[in-house]
A and B are shown apart, each in its own frame.
Chain A
Amino acid sequence: MYLAKVTGTVVASTKADGLDCVKLLIVEPVDEEGRAVGPPQVAADAVQAGAGELVFVCTGREGALALDEVFAPVDLAVVGHVDDVDAREPIQTPPGRPAPGGTPPGGTPPKRRRR
């Protein structure tokens, strides 16, 4: 899954079975600052997204699972509207060293429980 911005819609009158009633959007992958980071793609819309909106998309076979017709030939779907992104640039450290801000070296790691 990744962040994307909706930049347009696609209308196709001749489509494969399963794509009937599927709204198609043009989405452009963006980074946390809203800068484009990849070529635009066509995504099926599962959350009634509109032009200019920041959304997140689900790739692969799972994209189709967001639609009413789960066997639709779809490999990318808009699955959520993004309200807020809270991110900061990571600090570079070779993987052999502990990540800054992560688990302290030698210290007792905080107890984490699987949900």
Chain B
Amino acid sequence: MLLGRVIGTVVSSVKVPAYKGHKLLLVRPERLDGTFEARSYIAVDLVHAGEGDRVLLMREGSSVRDLLGDAAAPIHAAVVGIVDKVTFS
């Protein structure tokens, strides 16, 4: 999983049926020094995250399909948590 920041949403009306009813978030992976990677990823929202939230981004298809309860969903990435705090030891 990656630590990332929700930077926005994607609106799509014509899409594969499995995506119907899912909010699509744009998530920018975040490094531990607070900087961001150049590329964003699209992920379905499973935790009602919003713009600006620091989140857990899962990019592993079978786990996402398991969470959605749809073994045939062509969905590869999901936001699976909202991060409150990160500590380093």
User: 0/1 per residue, B57-76, Cβ < 8 Å to A?
Assistant: 00001101100000011111
* B46 interface neighbour in A61, A63, A115, Cβ under 8 Å: A115
User: 0/1 per residue, A19-61, Cβ < 8 Å to B?
Assistant: 0000000000101100001100000001100000000101111
For B16, the chain A residues whose CB sits under 8 A away are: 46-47, 58, 66, 79-80
Contact: A87 with B26, CB < 8 Å? yes
Q: Does A6 contact B (CB under 8 A)?
A: no
For B65, the chain A residues whose CB sits under 8 A away are: 62
For B51, the chain A residues whose CB sits under 8 A away are: 88, 101
User: 0/1 per residue, A73-84, Cβ < 8 Å to B?
Assistant: 000010111111
CB within 8 Å of A: which B4-22 residues: 5, 7-16, 18-19
User: In the complex where A66-B16, A84-B11, A102-B53 touch, is A90 in contact with B76 (Cβ < 8 A)?
Assistant: no
Q: Does A100 contact B (CB under 8 A)?
A: yes
Contact: B36 with A96, CB < 8 Å? no
Give the bracket for the number of chain B residues in contact with chain A.
Answer: 35 or more
28 inter-chain pairs at a CB distance below 8 angstroms, sorted by A residue, are: A2-B40, A3-B42, A38-B39, A46-B74, A47-B14, A56-B24, A58-B74, A60-B76, A62-B61, A62-B73, A63-B76, A64-B74, A65-B73, A66-B18, A79-B15, A82-B12, A83-B12, A85-B11, A86-B8, A86-B9, A90-B52, A95-B54, A96-B87, A98-B54, A98-B84, A99-B5, A102-B82, A109-B84
Closest A-B pairs by Cβ, 6 of them: A101-B52, A87-B8, A80-B15, A66-B74, A95-B86, A94-B34
Residues on B lying within 8 angstroms of A by beta carbon are 3, 5, 7-16, 18-19, 24, 26, 28, 30, 32-36, 38-43, 45-49, 51-54, 61-62, 64-65, 72-77, 82-88
